[in-house]
């Protein structure tokens, strides 16, 4: 293999991008747009979620005690309503539980928060008697958007804890463990990790994959259609030199892309990169190498650009849905999971997430790396052999 010829291909390809400004803009802007779009859609604070609150709690008088004012009334329900996050939630008070549930069903509001009549009294009973049933607040919620659902639950849980604490200290007690709960409680969200942190590594990997695969398919379809590939094959250049030259070009393009995206993600969304940035970039280059090979292989199945574009949904949807871009592979149906493990992007996303969020190093993500290296070697070798076979 002659490095000079390899670099000749690399140089030509890069120069092509320099002249074709629009494609260059696409290469850099599309991933950026994706991060921005996903970031603002999922990542920002959830605000102004419409909910209805029905507070039926009648409260109770504090037990007669000479340290407390006479006829001290305690109402945990009122405390909860006061402590709800009025930025997250836009609250309207209602009195009819059935109507409130109907409004949720109809999509008028996201949730109905229903505090039962004897809530304070039941809490008092539960505090004194461990075996008494634990009272609960009903949150009747439209769970179609997990982000919103999580925000609502978080707000109600926080308000409940605060109201209870207030009530306990009002009657001169100390910290009390929560004898009440919010039903149903979704085990979702919480903590300080923003959703944007979770999916940013995935979106970056995904964007690199899409751009690399698409552009490679189209470039190679054009090479075949225009006859330039024949000209290359009639030259002393070998198939390996052609493939390596292109791989270098796309590796470099992927590198520039990912630097741009990472910088934008850090500036726009305050994404924390805990791990090694160089390792994160190396993984991105591996993703680019492998999908470039895939693009060359796919180009053999397309006669023109129109046919090439038809490959887009074929690679887009499995990657979006199965590769763990938005939700973990474990949460997709069991019978689809084996399929997910066949998608190379999954390993890229997994590695990027582990490196960027968990701060893992080569020692922990070696399996992902091995799969990506194997994938790249396989597709690049296969594409060189494919070019050879055409000879």
Partner 1 sequence: MSEKQGREDAVIVEGLSKHFGKVKALDNLSIRVPAGEVYGLLGPNGSGKTTAIKIACGLLRQTSGRVELFGQSRPDKKVLAQVGYMPQETAVYMDNTVHENLALFGQLYGLDRERFARREAEVLRFVDLSGWRGALASNLSGGMRHRLSLACSLVHEPRLIFLDEPTVGVDPELRAAFWEYFREIANRGVTVVITTHYMDEASHCFRVGLLRQGRLVAEGAPEQLKRSTGAASLEDAFLAYARGDGQ
Of residues 2 and 92, the one with the C-beta less far from partner 1: 2
Is residue 3 at the binding interface for partner 1, with CB under 8 A as the rule? no
Rounded Cα distance between 124 and 121, Å, is 5
Burial 12-30 (b: 16+ CB within 10 A, else e): ebeeebeeeeeeeebbbeb
Helix H or strand E segment including 183: strand 181-183
Q: Is 174 in the site for partner 1 (CB under 8 A)?
A: no
Which residues in the 281-340 window bind partner 1 by CB under 8 A?
A: none
Nearer to partner 1 among residue 106 and residue 389 (C-beta): 389
- Cα-based angle 186, 189, 192 (whole degrees, multiple of 5): 145
Candidates 1, 20, 303, 370: give the one binding partner 1 (CB under 8 A). 20
Shortest spacing between CB 88 and partner 1, in angstroms: 51
What phi-psi label fits residue 311: left (phi over 0), alpha (psi between -120 and 50 degrees) or beta? Answer: alpha
The interface mask with partner 1, positions 203-242, x = CB under 8 A, is -------------------x--xxxx-xxxxxxxxx----
Ordered DSSP codes for 290-338: HHHHHHHHHHTT-SSHHHHHTHHHHHHHHHHHHSSSSS-GGGS-GGGHH
Interface with partner 1 (CB under 8 A), residue total 27
Binding residues among 45-104 for partner 1 as defined by CB under 8 A = none
Our finding on whether 391 is near partner 1 (CB under 8 A) is yes
Which CB sits closer to partner 1, 136 or 244?
A: 244
Q: DSSP 3-state helix, strand, coil percentages of the chain (rounded to 5)?
A: 65, 10, 25
Question: What are the residues whose beta carbons fall under 8 Å from the beta carbon of 279, sequence distance 6 or more?
Answer: 355, 361, 362, 365
Please identify, using beta-carbon distances, which residue of 15 and 176 lies nearer to partner 1: 15
| Shortest distance (Å) from residue 24 CB to partner 1 | 10
Q: How far is the CB of 238 from partner 1 (least distance, A)?
A: 7
What does the binding site for partner 1 look like in residue numbers (CB under 8 A)? 2, 4-5, 7-9, 11-12, 15-16, 19-20, 222, 225-228, 230-238, 391
């Amino acid at each position: 293999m002659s490095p000079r010829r390899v670099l000749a291909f690399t140089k030509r390809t890069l120069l092509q991008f320099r002249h074709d400004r629009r494609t260059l803009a696409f290469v850099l802007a599309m991933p950026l747009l994706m991060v921005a779009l996903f970031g603002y859609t999922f990542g920002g604070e959830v605000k102004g979620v419409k909910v209805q609150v029905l507070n039926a709690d009648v409260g109770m008088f504090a037990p007669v005690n000479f340290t407390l004012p006479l006829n001290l009334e305690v109402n945990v329900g009122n405390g909860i309503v006061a402590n709800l996050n009025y930025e997250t939630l836009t609250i309207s008070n209602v009195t009819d539980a059935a109507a409130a549930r109907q409004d949720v069903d109809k999509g008028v509001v996201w949730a109905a928060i229903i505090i039962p009549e004897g809530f304070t009294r039941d809490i008092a009973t539960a505090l004194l008697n461990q075996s008494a049933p634990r009272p609960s607040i009903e949150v009747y919620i439209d769970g179609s958007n997990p982000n919103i659902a999580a925000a609502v639950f978080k707000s109600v849980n926080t308000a409940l804890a605060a109201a209870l604490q207030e009530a306990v200290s009002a009657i001169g007690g100390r910290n009390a463990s929560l004898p009440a709960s919010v039903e149903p409680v979704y085990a979702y969200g919480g903590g300080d990790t923003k959703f944007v942190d979770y999916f940013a590594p995935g979106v970056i990997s995904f964007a690199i994959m899409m751009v690399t695969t698409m552009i490679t398919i189209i470039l190679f379809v054009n090479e075949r259609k225009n006859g330039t590939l024949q000209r290359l094959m009639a030259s002393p250049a070998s198939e390996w030199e052609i493939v390596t030259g292109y791989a270098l070009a796309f590796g470099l393009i992927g590198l520039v892309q990912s630097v741009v995206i990472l910088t934008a993600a850090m500036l726009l969304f305050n994404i924390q990169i805990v791990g090694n940035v160089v390792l994160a970039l190396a993984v991105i280059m591996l993703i680019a190498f492998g999908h470039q090979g895939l693009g060359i292989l796919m180009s053999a199945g397309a006669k023109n650009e129109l046919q090439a574009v038809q490959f887009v949904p074929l690679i887009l949807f499995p990657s979006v849905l199965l590769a763990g871009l938005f939700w973990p592979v474990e949460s997709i149906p069991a019978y689809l999971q084996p399929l997910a493990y066949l998608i190379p992007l999954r390993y890229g996303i997994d590695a990027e997430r582990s490196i960027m969020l968990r701060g893992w190093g080569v020692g922990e993500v070696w399996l992902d790396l091995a799969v990506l290296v194997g994938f790249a070697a396989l597709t690049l070798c296969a594409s060189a052999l494919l070019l050879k076979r055409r000879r």
